[in-house]
């Protein structure tokens, strides 16, 4: 993994507009290969409707932790979504998310961190090697998928941002813009969508920020242009279309905790032994399969992550 000096992540304010425009077309990855840039990440509604994410990302290398299970069909991954900013049913995001403008995307970094600033996504990706990570994902509602993500370890970015030692948690926020995200005109959740991780979870090598899937730039309905993927946790931790990252001393309150604290906890680790108050979590339906499978502890990633929760009561810390 090549991590360039922090000087290579420029705060957005000081990016010369001319340089920015040129850079928009292509982002040079550390390996010298070209990655179709943010300009092409601006998805046409027509393409989003067809569940099509757009241009291929080049220079992606195979990452660790790939599983051998059959991948869920691209069509299912991109047309059966949860993205309440575009409606609460599974089909709406693919139909509605085309209107989201993902070019000139900025991410604000603040809190207990040395490099707090606004950054263009291009500058965050510059010099970053992208990997394919084939992960199981398990939604709290009882279905699952196998998704070949493209992304990079969140820990790489965290290290470059230089959090203070008192930062114990990291919080993420989705864009708040009801004009682009019509679902935000209704109070189904306390907007913007907020999620968080404990710092050791955020630094775990399984945790990635994704920018693509199936070799292509992330479709809007899957959280373009930047979303979190934490494969041992229920899908709702995987916050989409991130515009803010905050380093905190105290545990943040996620949107789902605020909306139903008895149903959704902060940790949200996949755990077949702890039922959701309204349904069991013992089994799951892999999208594209008929027979249900047994849900695995930590979604099958126990070997990698169980140590993070040693000594914790996972019934209380659900
Ligand atoms: N992020 C935002 N901003 N809004 C959402 O409604 N839904 C979550 C998560 N991230 C959601 C979100 C839930 S409940 C799930 S299961 C996953 O996104 C679904 O991701 P996918 O549609 O890419 O499969």
Query: CATH assignment of 62-75+104-178+186-309, given 3.90.420.10, 3.40.50.300, 3.40.190.80, 3.40.50.1000?
Result: 3.90.420.10
Print pLDDT tens along the chain (318 aa). 344 455 567 787 654 444 444 443 333 333 322 333 333 333 333 334 444 457 899 999 999 999 999 999 999 999 999 999 999 999 999 999 999 999 999 999 999 999 999 999 999 999 999 999 999 999 999 999 999 999 999 999 999 999 999 999 999 999 999 999 999 999 999 999 999 999 999 999 999 999 999 999 999 999 999 999 999 999 999 999 999 999 999 999 999 999 999 999 999 999 999 999 999 999 999 999 999 999 999 999 999 999 999 999 999 999
- Strand-pairing partners, residue 82, are none
Q: Is 83 in the pocket of ligand 1 (CB under 6 A)?
A: yes
Please state, in angstroms and as integers, the Cα–Cα distance from residue 43 to each residue in 100, 165, 221, 247, following that order. 8, 39, 10, 31
Taking only the tens place, the pLDDT of each residue in 191-238 is 999 999 999 999 999 999 999 999 999 999 999 999 999 999 999 999
Q: Is 238 in the pocket of ligand 1 (CB under 6 A)?
A: yes
Asked whether the beta carbons of 257 and 264 are under 8 A apart, the reply is yes
Name which residue sits closest to atom 5 of ligand 1, judged by CA.
83
Question: What does pTM read for this prediction?
Answer: 0.88
Structure token pair of residue 133: 């990570």
Locate the ligand 1 atom nearest the alpha carbon of residue 83 and give its number: 6
Separation of CA 144 and ligand 1 centre (Å):
13
Separation of CA 115 and ligand 1 centre (Å):
28
68: Cβ contacts below 8 Å, ≥ 6 apart = none
Residue spans per domain, the chain:
62-75+104-178+186-309
- How many CB atoms are located within 10 Å of the residue 101 CB? 14
């Amino acid at each position: 993994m090549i991590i360039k000096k922090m000087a290579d992540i420029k705060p957005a304010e000081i990016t010369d507009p001319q340089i920015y425009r040129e850079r928009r077309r292509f982002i040079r990855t550390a390996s010298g290969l070209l990655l179709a840039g943010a300009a092409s990440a601006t998805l046409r509604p027509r393409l989003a409707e067809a569940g099509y994410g757009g241009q291929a990302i080049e220079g992606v290398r195979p990452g660790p932790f790939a599983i051998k299970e059959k991948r869920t069909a691209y069509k299912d991954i991109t047309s059966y979504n949860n993205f309440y900013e575009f409606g609460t049913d599974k089909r709406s995001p693919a139909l509605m998310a085309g209107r989201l403008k993902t070019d000139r995307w900025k991410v604000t970094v603040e809190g207990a961190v040395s490099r707090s600033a606004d950054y263009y996504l291009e500058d965050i990706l510059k010099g970053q090697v992208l990997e394919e990570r084939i992960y199981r994902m398990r939604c709290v509602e009882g279905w699952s998928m196998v998704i070949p993500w493209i992304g990079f370890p969140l820990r790489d970015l965290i290290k470059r941002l230089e959090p203070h030692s008192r930062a114990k948690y990291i919080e993420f926020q989705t864009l708040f813009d009801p004009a682009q995200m019509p679902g935000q005109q209704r109070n189904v959740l306390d907007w913007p969508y907020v999620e968080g991780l404990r710092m050791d979870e955020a630094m775990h090598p399984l945790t990635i920020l994704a920018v693509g899937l199936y070799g292509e730039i992330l479709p809007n309905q899957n959280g373009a242009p930047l979303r979190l993927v934490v494969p041992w946790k229920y899908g709702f931790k995987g916050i989409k279309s991130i515009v803010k990252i905050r380093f905190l001393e105290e545990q943040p309150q996620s949107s789902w905790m605020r909306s139903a604290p008895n149903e959704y906890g902060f940790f949200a680790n996949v755990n077949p032994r702890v039922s959701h108050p309204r349904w069991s979590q013992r089994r799951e339906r892999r999208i594209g399969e008929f027979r249900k499978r047994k849900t695995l502890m930590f979604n099958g990633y126990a070997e990698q992550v169980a140590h993070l929760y040693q000594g914790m009561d996972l019934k209380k810390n659900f």
